[in-house]
Structure 1
């Protein structure tokens, strides 16, 4: 918490009156009481933002060790999984690459008319 005085500018209790409790969202502003927090909320909410998470990603930590492939991202606390996915693709340099391939084992293969019969036969083997 940055300041040692109540975040309510109209508070008359003074800084030494009680231990300040930090705003539970931004943790940057402290209040001496719930009442002071409620009074100050109308102005504080315009600048109150959750802090970013610092996330460290290891690419295959058990398999790739020399050298390790690691990226550290500062991730907003309210980000979506999609945006995290996009950020990871950019961080690892995969944003403009195709990351998977399919191989067709038998190009002339056609699915049987009755797939359930094939499955039952395989189960009996």
Structure 2
């Protein structure tokens, strides 16, 4: 079911950020509706795990809300994607996920070994 359009759906990112800093929950909801798919998709591309991608997406938006008064961001999507990268890097450091390039090279090595290619 598609959500009803609100006046916030016509706001620029700059306007949404101004309202977010004032703890406007409707502005936050609009930001979430506008960007959650992009954040989730980028997260999934990086870790290839739907559960972790969902958790990272949630953490990105929780962080945005919790730190809303301190945000100096001018553009929402770059800010959200930077936050996402930070969360993904933390998972890499904790060993809960491994970089996509590393998985590809491991897969290539296993394929080569299996096929007798050196």
Asked if Structure 1 and Structure 2 have the same fold, meaning a TM-score greater than 0.5 normalized by the shorter chain, the answer is: no
Which has the higher relative contact order, 1 or 2, with Cα contacts under 8 A spaced 6 or more apart?
Answer: 2
Choose between structure 1 and 2: higher strand proportion: 1
TM-score (normalised: structure 1)? 0.27
TM-score normalised to structure 2 length: 0.28
Larger helix percent: 2
Q: Which has the larger radius of gyration?
A: 1
